[in-house]
Structure 1
Amino acid sequence: MSEPLKLGTRKSSLAMAQARAVAEAITARSGREVELVGITTYGDTTKAALAQIGGTGVFVNALRDALLEGRIDLAVHSLKDLPTTQPDGLVIAAVPPREDPRDALCARDGRKLTELSAGARVGTGSPRRAAQLRALGYGLVVVAIRGNVDTRLRYVAEGELDAVVLARAGLARLGRLDAVTEVFDPMQMLPAPGQGALAVECRAGHNEVDAALVELLRGLDDPDTRAAVTAERALLAALEAGCSAPVGAFGEVAEGEEGPELYLRGVVVASDGSQSVRLSATGTPDEADQLGRRLAAEMLAAGAAGLMGERVP
Structure 2
Amino acid sequence: MAALRIGTRRSILATTQSGHVADALEALGTATELVEITTDGDRSQAGGVPLTGAPSTGVFVSALRDALLAGEVDVAVHSLKDLPTYSTEGIVLAAVPPREDPRDVVVARDGLTLGELPPGSKVATGSPRRVAQIEALGLGVELVGVRGNVDTRIGRIAEGTYDAVVLARAGLARLGRADEATEVLDPLQVLPAPGQGALAVECRSDDTATLALLARLDDAGTRAAVTAERTLMATLEGGCAAPIGALAEVADGDEGPELWLRAVILSEDGALSLRRSASAALGADGASWAADAAKLGGDLGAEMLADGAAELMAQLTQPRGEQSRPTDSNSHPSARSAEVPNP
Cα distance between partner residues in 2 of 1:53 and 1:129? 17
Cα distance between partner residues in 2 of 1:24 and 1:38? 16
Deviation digits for residues 101-131 of structure 1, max 9, x if unmatched? 0000000000011101111100000000010
Letter in 2 for 1:304: A
* 1:160 and 2:158 correspond: no
Q: 1:40 aligns with which of 38, 41, 46?
A: 38
The gaps in structure 2 that reach 5 residues or longer are: 283-288, 319-343
Q: 1:283 aligns with which of 280, 284, 301?
A: 280
Q: Relative contact order (C-alpha < 8 Å, sep 6+): which is higher? A: 1
Counterparts of residues 121-132 of structure 1 (less than 5 Å):
121-132=122-133
Cα distance between partner residues in 2 of 1:75 and 1:230? 19
Q: 2:226 aligns with which of 217, 226, 229?
A: 229
Q: 2:242 aligns with which of 245, 252, 263?
A: 245
Cα distance between partner residues in 2 of 1:135 and 1:95? 32
Q: 2:265 aligns with which of 255, 263, 268?
A: 268
Cα distance between partner residues in 2 of 1:231 and 1:167? 20
Letter in 1 for 2:31: E
* 1:258 and 2:258 correspond: no
Q: 1:305 aligns with which of 300, 305, 310?
A: 310
Counterparts of residues 47-62 of structure 1 (less than 5 Å):
47-62=48-63
Cα distance between partner residues in 1 of 2:281 and 2:89? 28
Counterparts of residues 85-100 of structure 1 (less than 5 Å):
85-100=86-101
* 1:18 and 2:23 correspond: no
Shift of 1:284: 2.9
Match of 2:6 in 1: 7
Match of 1:112 in 2: 113
Letter in 2 for 1:10: R
Letter in 1 for 2:138: G
TM-score, normalised relative to structure 1: 0.96
Contact 1:102 1:184 in 2 (8 A): yes
Cα distance between partner residues in 2 of 1:18 and 1:284? 32
Cα distance between partner residues in 2 of 1:48 and 1:290? 38
Cα distance between partner residues in 2 of 1:128 and 1:217? 32
Match of 1:197 in 2: 198
Cα distance between partner residues in 2 of 1:49 and 1:306? 27
Cα distance between partner residues in 2 of 1:102 and 1:281? 19
Cα distance between partner residues in 1 of 2:160 and 2:39? 30
Cα distance between partner residues in 2 of 1:215 and 1:151? 39
Q: Which runs of at least 4 in structure 1 moved beyond 3 Å after TM superposition?
A: none
Shift of 1:96: 0.2
Cα distance between partner residues in 1 of 2:193 and 2:93? 19
Match of 2:213 in 1: 216
Report the secondary structure of 1:302's partner residue: helix
How many pairs are equivalent? 305
Query: Structure 1 vs Structure 2: percent identity of aligned residues?
Result: 61
TM-score, normalised relative to structure 2: 0.87
Shift of 1:50: 2.1
Deviation digits for residues 29-76 of structure 1, max 9, x if unmatched? 1x1211000001111111332222221110000000000110000010
Cα distance between partner residues in 1 of 2:317 and 2:255? 41
Letter in 1 for 2:232: L
Contact 1:271 1:307 in 2 (8 A): no
Letter in 2 for 1:32: T
Letter in 2 for 1:227: A
Contact 1:251 1:262 in 2 (8 A): yes
Counterparts of residues 165-184 of structure 1 (less than 5 Å):
165-184=166-185
Deviation digits for residues 156-191 of structure 1, max 9, x if unmatched? 111100000000000000111122000001001000
